[in-house]
Structure formats: structure tokens, C-alpha cells
Amino acid sequence: MNLFPLMSNNTQVSESVRSILEKSLLGEELNVEDACVLFATQGAEAQAVLDTADKVRAKRVGDTGTFVITRNINFTNVCYMGCRFCNFAKEKGDKEAEFLTVEQVADRAEEAWERGATEVCIQGGLHPDIGPDYYRDLIVAVKKRVPDIHIHAFSPFEIWYGCKKGRLEPEVFLSELKALGLGSMPGTAAEILDTEVRKQLTKNKLTTEEWVRIIKAAHSVGVPTTSTIMYGHVDQPIHWANHLKLLRDIQKETGGFTEFVPLGFIHYETRLYKDNPDKVRPGPTQDEHFKMHAIARLMLQGHIDNIQASWVKMGPDVATKMLRSGANDLGGTLMNESISRAAGATHGQEVFPEDMVANIQAAGLKAVQRNTKYGAVKTYLLEENTAKAPLSNRIAIQGVA
């Protein structure tokens, strides 16, 4: 069966690459070796990977691009873990140190709701003064103020920290948080799920095994999570392929991932790069961004079918192009975001819903505002968007989160 009639005489696409892409179009599972072959493609072969990912995206989720109206609330930038890829963390006594009260977090959640947000994403550093009840109190305060908002909160690292503070098993702690109103969890702190790479990034403070344990615990008590990767530093394609396979294996077991979000390493202000500029890459290349989203689509199809393109990491223009290279979601409008900005990101802190709609439509897709679990909130017809052209560069800086 020749699924590439236009390439049948194209000697620039090897038989091995063609065979892997045909498997993808048939919905067959790719292995780690297949993914490594695709990551190594260049030129016409690389374009064939992107084109195939676009076809698979259409097959799996249709010609729709989605976004969510959300607010990121980073409740503290104080963290004692010392991850070398992060420039967000401050010492407790630093003049720029922040630690919001639960009422301040609730204030921001209420403001987000009034501006149309359906979700708040709440994360923060591992502050030494966080007590065993702080995470619970955050959820209670937000739900008391805004009962109907979805709380997407606490990375696996924060859950690990909360378990340590409360001397609880993850299933117990997460069940308590869910009962209070936790709706879902960000699957961040994954970085690269490889021990040797994690030792260089975080001294393996949250091991691969611990990350997987907490994610599975969340899924087991009915708390869905996202899944992520942070790439473009000391990692290689074999690590990316193994990471994707591990996420796929978890999803086969639990079914608890809502999406996959590739996050490119932002190097500018990080110790990891500044201390080792000859050993650490300055983030992924644009080619690697495109291949990561495309190959993730091919490897994860049928298991994790929502692939998000992060405009915060790549910029709105590049993220929009990802919608025709495997991705189907542009993430959130955010309102505030501190972590990427602290590392040197230059793409602002907010885009507006009309910007999201314009960019999705510019990619030739139907724009849909979604909720956290990918249910449709509003579908936009072309004439409903007041923007006349993509507004990918119109970004509002809303202050420091």
C-alpha cells in the first residue's frame, strides 16, 4: 500500500523513513529505534515527518485547534532544591523573594474568573516554611472564593514535598486534595526521565521512579495530569525517544494523561548553561522543536492525542506553525507566568483569546476554546473572530506574578 504517491519517485526519502511513516499513517506503534531514525531526518525527509504528523493529527482530533483561558499563579519563588536549569528560585531572604498567602492566591483566582478563565494553574517553589496544610489551604481558599473554577495545581515535585511534610503516601495526600477540589495536576518536573540526565539537571532529587510513582498515584485516585518533556540542554534524541515511550507505557496502564506538552529549555539566565557553555546547548533548534512535536504525535497517537505547542517557550508565530506539524493545542492565555520569564524567555506573559483564535484560524483550523479536560467551551466560526489577521505579536505584559 503506497501512502505516499507523491513521494514514490523521491529518492530523498529513504525506504526506512518511508516505512516508519507508513506505519504511522496506518496507526501502528513506533518503537524507540523508529523515533531515533525520525529525529535524525533532514531536508525532504524531515518535511515528510512533519507532513505525516499533520495527517495523523487530522485523523486523531480533526481539523480543530484548541486553547484554554487560564491564569498561572506562582505562589512562591523561594525554593531550596537548586535545580541548575532554573532561574526562578530565590533564597528565602532575597529582596525579590515572594510567598503569597492563601487569600492572595484566592484574590488572583477570583480576578481570573471575572476575566473569563475556566482554570487556574497553581504552582510554586519548595519553600522551607511551607507547612503540611499549605497545599490543602490553597485549594480550600480558592474553592471558597470561586467554587466553579477548575484547579490545576501542584507538580509531582510539590506533591512529593507535601507528602514529606505530612508524612503521607501519595495516594492518601492526593485523595485528600481531590476531595477538597483539586481537579488535575501539571505533569511538570519530568524534565528528561533518564537518571544520568537528571543527575546533571537536578542532582536526581526527584528521581524518575519517584516522578512515575506520583503520576501513577494521581491517576489511580482519579486526578488526571498533563505530561511534559524539557529538551535542548544535555539530552540527546535517544533520551527523547525513551521518554516518549515511558509516557506511552504509563498511559496504557492508567489512561490518566490529558495531553503532552514539549517544553524547550530556556538557557539565557540559568546556571546550567552559564557554568557549562561548552557542554550545554542553548536550547533546542527550531528544527528540533518541529520534530519533537511531530514525532510525539506519531509515537503517542491513540494514547495521548492532545499535543500542545507552548507559545511561552517558542513564541506565538512558531507555536502556530506547530499546528500543522502535529500539535493541536496552543495552551493557555496564562495572564501571568513567572518561571519561563525568570529563565530569560522573551515572549511575554499573556495573549488574548482573540489572538489564540486568529492564530488557530491562520493555521487553517477551526478554533475552539476548551476546558482543562478538553471539553469544548466555545467554537468560533471564522466570522465570529473580530481580528482581521493573526495577532501573534500582540502580547500584553500584565505585571509580575
Q: Of 95, 68, 120, which Cα lies nearest the Cα of 310?
A: 68
Query: Residue 332 is part of which domain span?
Result: 59-380
Specify the pLDDT at position 271.
Answer: 57
Q: For residue 120, list its beta bridge partners.
A: 71, 151
Domain annotation covers residue 348: yes
Q: What is the pLDDT of residues 333-381, one digit of tens each?
A: 977 544 344 444 444 557 889 999 999 999 999 999 999 999 999 999 8
Q: 19 labelled as ligand-binding?
A: no
Q: 155 labelled as ligand-binding?
A: yes
Domain annotation covers residue 191: yes
Domain annotation covers residue 156: yes
Domain annotation covers residue 174: yes
Residue 387 in this model has a pLDDT that exceeds 70: no
Distance between CA atoms of 323 and 320, rounded to whole angstroms? 6
Question: How many domains, in total, are found in the chain?
Answer: 1
Residue 36 in this model has a pLDDT that exceeds 90: yes
Q: For residue 185, list its beta bridge partners.
A: 225
Output DSSP code: residue 29. Answer: P
Domain annotation covers residue 42: no
Distance between CA atoms of 90 and 106, rounded to whole angstroms? 23
Domain annotation covers residue 318: yes
Specify the pLDDT at position 369.
Answer: 98
CATH number of the domain where residue 139 is located: 3.20.20.70
Confidence band of 96 (pLDDT split at 50, 70, 90): confident
Q: 163 labelled as ligand-binding?
A: no
Q: 83 labelled as ligand-binding?
A: yes
Distance between CA atoms of 29 and 249, rounded to whole angstroms? 12
Give me the chain's average pLDDT, please. 87
In angstroms, the Cα distances linking 273 to 143, 196, 200, 269, 281 are: 40, 17, 11, 8, 7
Q: What is the pLDDT of residues 56-87, one digit of tens each?
A: 999 999 999 999 999 999 999 888 765 555 56
Q: 114 labelled as ligand-binding?
A: no
Domain annotation covers residue 401: no
Quickly list H helices, 225-377. Answer: 237-254, 271-274, 286-300, 311-314, 316-322, 339-342, 353-362
pTM passes above 0.85: yes
Domain annotation covers residue 207: yes
Specify the pLDDT at position 280.
Answer: 72
Confidence band of 250 (pLDDT split at 50, 70, 90): very high
